[in-house]
């Protein structure tokens, strides 16, 4: 068998029977990018010299975290026997926050490589994506990676995989992306096992958008999988969801650099450029057709991305507010799921209320804002969407505790629920159940995966998960547990809004919607933190936690009694004056809550839980 195809099939003129579309399902760190790079090298589309570390992951953050946020697609030639095939490898995001994007990427494929670290076994997110792949009727090729590692246990994990997806442990391929061992066999297996795409070449064109990327030079690059018909350069196309028309300025395939072609035909995977500047005009999951002969029926599965988690983002230096707005406007061009609107906080000044797909999405956005735009930010505690019904039968959607109705009596609060799956070594079952129970989880079931690992499934409020759950889970299981969750509707719960008051004045950034049973604990935690962090004033400052008008926790900061320089003679005077000038500057950064002067750092530290004793001076 020749490792490299002698006469690669030409885009736009490839018989669908010679096309294989597949993706790689893997957990963070299980070596997906290394394997993908190795495939690019072996198939000859990237010369060894040009090979960058992990070619597919383009963003710095992705490379550093070893995760893929945005997917890309690469066309690779591969010859089996006398026949040259075109393999389209579609890279999928690896995290649960992006499950919609994952599902669209999977929908663009006929098969998936299930890649598992031979030293670690399968993880919760991989399982979740595996379920998605099976739902999409994808052909699964199980593969154990990193078999060159001394700690690898290929036999054990081959059995685990075979149990999961059926078949024999012998069917599990064993490769090393790092050394290249077994990768050629894997490419052969892709050709052999994954079905060729099927579509109607004569029907009106239908292509599914599985990714949409903003490029500052070229505008939006839209990645599509052709299902029916064909798309050509200069053709006018239509987005079925919006009926918006655009002209194709460029069409082609990634090999892996963008390579213009004469078009894309049934089963092919490639990109389109129309000159639009905002990814919202090219939505993942939407169907592309031609303006001249539009298809009537959209491809299934399209939904608008819905933010699940909300948080206020504030510049630590208030004068950075315009820069923050600009940065969000720029990020929005490449991230259709990011939503935001201006928000003002007594404690934090001017900022934005932002909606995210999940916690990782929040983290990625804040990190990009800090890294790519040089902004120093503070994020308020993440919140989810509550539906609050008052006794006068009005329902309010609350994404920010400040929107929680205060006037009328509350008759019901509904909160979003998720089904969480946690995968961990069996020794941690007790610890994990304790944690989930304390977060109002309801056990759904528990299953052994192989000999020593367990999958535990819970129904849990999303609001409990966004608040520090993952960190707790990791720390209580020495990092072994992995978590996946998916939305499963909502439930009514006894939720209350806890406000924090400084000398009777509410401090907005600290209000939280919590279960009634936890209101006291939250109140004690926050009042305690603020007592440590807020400097003493010239008067006593009560700090209270309240549900409505009822005080549930109380601390106080004793009045400062001494603030005077004892000695102020000849040479002390310049020094004292300079100190005074410095204090005056410092006061500009103080936030006033009523009469109480609070350094912004105190608010920030209280929000982040980074509590060190304040200087009592």
Partner 1 sequence: MGSALPLGEPAPLDGLLPASAAEGAADRAFGVYVHVPFCRVRCGYCDFNTYTASELRGARQVDYADQAIDEIRMSRRVLAASGAPSRAAETVFFGGGTPTLLPADDLVRMLGAVRDEFGFAPGAEVTTEANPDSVGPEDLIRLAEGGFTRVSFGMQSAVPHVLAALDRTHDPARVPLVVRWARDAGLDVSLDLIYGTPGESLDDWRRSVDAVVAERPDHVSAYALIVEDGTKLARQIRRGELAQPDDDLEADMYELADTAFAEAGFEWYEVSNWANDAAHRSRHNLGYWRGDDWWGVGPGAHSHVGGVRWWNAKHPAAYAERLAAGHSPAVGREVLDAPTRETERVLLLTRIREGIDIASLHTGGRHAVAGLIADELVDAKAALAGGLTLTRRGRLLADAVVRRLLED
Q: Which residues bind partner 1 (CB under 8 A)?
A: 538-539, 558, 560-578, 580-581, 583-584, 587, 616-617
Cβ proximity to partner 1, 478 vs 565, nearer residue: 565
Min CB(575)–partner 1 separation in Å: 6
Min CB(603)–partner 1 separation in Å: 21
| Residues near 601 by beta carbon (within 8 Å), at least 6 away in sequence | none
Ramachandran angles phi, psi of 517, nearest 5°: -65, -20
Cβ proximity to partner 1, 234 vs 562, nearer residue: 562
Distance of alpha carbon 69 from alpha carbon 72, whole angstroms:
10
Instruction: Identify whether the C-beta of residue 400 lies closer than 8 Å to the C-beta of residue 513.
Output: no
Min CB(577)–partner 1 separation in Å: 6
Distance of alpha carbon 33 from alpha carbon 70, whole angstroms:
13
**At what angle are helices 124-135 and 154-165 packed, to 10 degrees?**
40
Q: Which residue is associated with the tokens 């460029």?
A: 250
Min CB(348)–partner 1 separation in Å: 23
Q: Return the SS3 of 367.
A: helix
Cβ proximity to partner 1, 217 vs 569, nearer residue: 569
Distance of alpha carbon 189 from alpha carbon 269, whole angstroms:
20
Element (H or E) spanning 96, and its range?
A: none
Cβ proximity to partner 1, 294 vs 542, nearer residue: 542
Min CB(548)–partner 1 separation in Å: 31
Cβ proximity to partner 1, 236 vs 582, nearer residue: 582
Q: Return the SS3 of 42.
A: helix
Cβ proximity to partner 1, 277 vs 575, nearer residue: 575
Cβ proximity to partner 1, 445 vs 571, nearer residue: 571
Min CB(321)–partner 1 separation in Å: 23
Q: DSSP letters along 138-176, please?
A: PEEEEEEE-TTSTT--HHHHHHHHHHHH-S-GGGSEE--
**At what angle are helices 99-107 and 124-135 packed, to 10 degrees?**
40
Min CB(506)–partner 1 separation in Å: 23
Cβ proximity to partner 1, 274 vs 537, nearer residue: 537
Nearest to 224 by CA among 246, 191, 195, 192: 246
Cβ proximity to partner 1, 409 vs 617, nearer residue: 617
- Alpha-carbon 255 to chain mean position: 27
Min CB(503)–partner 1 separation in Å: 14
336: phi > 0 → left, psi -120 to 50 → alpha, else beta; which?
alpha
Ramachandran angles phi, psi of 180, nearest 5°: 90, -5
Nearest to 452 by CA among 153, 84, 108: 153
Cβ proximity to partner 1, 442 vs 573, nearer residue: 573
Min CB(537)–partner 1 separation in Å: 9
Min CB(574)–partner 1 separation in Å: 4
Query: How many angstroms separate the first and last alpha carbons of the chain?
Result: 78
Instruction: Identify whether the C-beta of residue 440 lies closer than 8 Å to the C-beta of residue 464.
Output: yes
Cβ proximity to partner 1, 48 vs 563, nearer residue: 563
The DSSP secondary-structure symbol of 427 reads: G
Q: Which residue is associated with the tokens 């790689």?
A: 24
Min CB(560)–partner 1 separation in Å: 7
Distance of alpha carbon 324 from alpha carbon 109, whole angstroms:
38
Cβ proximity to partner 1, 393 vs 562, nearer residue: 562
Min CB(556)–partner 1 separation in Å: 14
The helix, strand and coil proportions of the chain, stated in percent and rounded to the nearest 5, come to 30, 35, 35
């Amino acid at each position: 068998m020749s490792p490299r195809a002698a006469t690669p099939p030409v885009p736009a003129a490839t018989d669908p029977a010679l096309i294989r579309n597949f993706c790689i399902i893997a957990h963070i760190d299980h070596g997906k990018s290394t394997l993908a790079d190795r495939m690019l090298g072996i198939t000859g589309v990237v010369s060894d010299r040009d090979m960058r570390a992990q070619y597919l992951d383009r963003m710095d953050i992705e490379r550093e975290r070893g995760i893929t946020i945005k997917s890309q697609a690469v066309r690779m030639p591969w010859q089996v026997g006398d026949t040259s095939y075109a393999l389209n490898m579609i890279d999928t995001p690896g995290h649960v926050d992006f499950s919609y994007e994952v599902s669209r990427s999977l929908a663009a494929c006929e098969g998936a490589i299930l890649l598992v670290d031979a030293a670690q076994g399968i993880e919760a997110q991989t399982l979740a994506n595996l379920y998605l792949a099976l739902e999409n009727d994808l052909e699964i090729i199980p593969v154990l990676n990193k078999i060159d590692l001394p700690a690898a246990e290929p036999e054990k994990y081959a059995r685990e995989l075979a149990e999961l997806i059926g078949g024999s442990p012998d069917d599990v391929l064993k490769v090393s992306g790092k050394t290249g061992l077994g990768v050629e066999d894997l490419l052969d297996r892709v050709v052999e096992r994954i079905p060729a795409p099927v579509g109607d070449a004569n029907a009106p064109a239908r292509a599914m958008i599985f990714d949409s990327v903003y490029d500052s030079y070229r505008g939006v690059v839209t990645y599509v999988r052709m299902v029916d018909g064909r798309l050509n350069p200069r053709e006018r196309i239509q987005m079925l969801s919006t009926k918006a028309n655009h002209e194709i300025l460029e069409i082609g395939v990634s090999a892996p650099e963008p390579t213009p072609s004469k078009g894309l035909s049934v089963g092919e995977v490639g990109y389109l450029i129309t000159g639009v500047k905002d990814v919202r005009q090219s939505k993942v999951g939407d169907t592309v057709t031609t303006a001249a002969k539009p298809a009537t029926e959209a491809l299934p599965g399209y939904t608008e991305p819905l933010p699940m988690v909300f948080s206020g983002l504030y510049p630590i230096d208030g004068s950075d507010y315009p820069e923050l707005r600009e940065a969000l406007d720029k990020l929005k061009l490449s991230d259709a799921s990011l939503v935001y609107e201006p928000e003002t906080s007594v404690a934090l000044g001017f900022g934005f209320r932002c909606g995210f797909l999940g916690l990782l999405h929040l983290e990625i956005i804040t990190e990009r804002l800090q890294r790519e735009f040089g902004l120093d930010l503070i994020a308020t505690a993440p919140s989810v969407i509550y539906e609050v019904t008052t006794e006068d039968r009005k329902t309010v959607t609350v994404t920010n505790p400040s929107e929680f109705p205060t006037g009328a009596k509350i008759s019901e609060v509904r909160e979003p629920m998720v089904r969480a799956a946690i995968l961990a070594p069996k020794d941690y079952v007790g610890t994990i159940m304790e944690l989930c129970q304390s977060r109002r989880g309801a056990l759904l079931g528990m299953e052994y995966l192989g000999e020593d690992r367990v999958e535990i499934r819970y129904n849990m409020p999303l609001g409990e998960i966004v608040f520090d759950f993952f960190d707790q889970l990791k720390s209580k299981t020495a990092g072994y547990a992995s978590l996946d969750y998916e939305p499963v509707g909502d439930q009514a719960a006894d939720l209350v809004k806890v406000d924090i008051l400084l000398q009777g004045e509410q401090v907005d950034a600290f209000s939280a919607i919590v279960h009634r049973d936890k209101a006291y604990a939250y109140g004690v935690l926050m009042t305690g933190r603020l007592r440590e962090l807020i400097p003493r004033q010239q008067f006593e400052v009560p700090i209270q936690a309240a549900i409505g008008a009822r005080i549930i926790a109380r601390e106080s900061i004793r009045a400062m009694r001494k603030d005077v320089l004892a000695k102020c003679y000849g040479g002390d005077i310049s020094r004292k004056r300079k100190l005074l000038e410095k204090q005056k500057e410092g006061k500009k950064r103080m936030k006033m809550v009523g009469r109480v002067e609070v350094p912004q750092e105190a608010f920030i530290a209280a929000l982040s839980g980074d509590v060190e004793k304040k200087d009592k001076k």
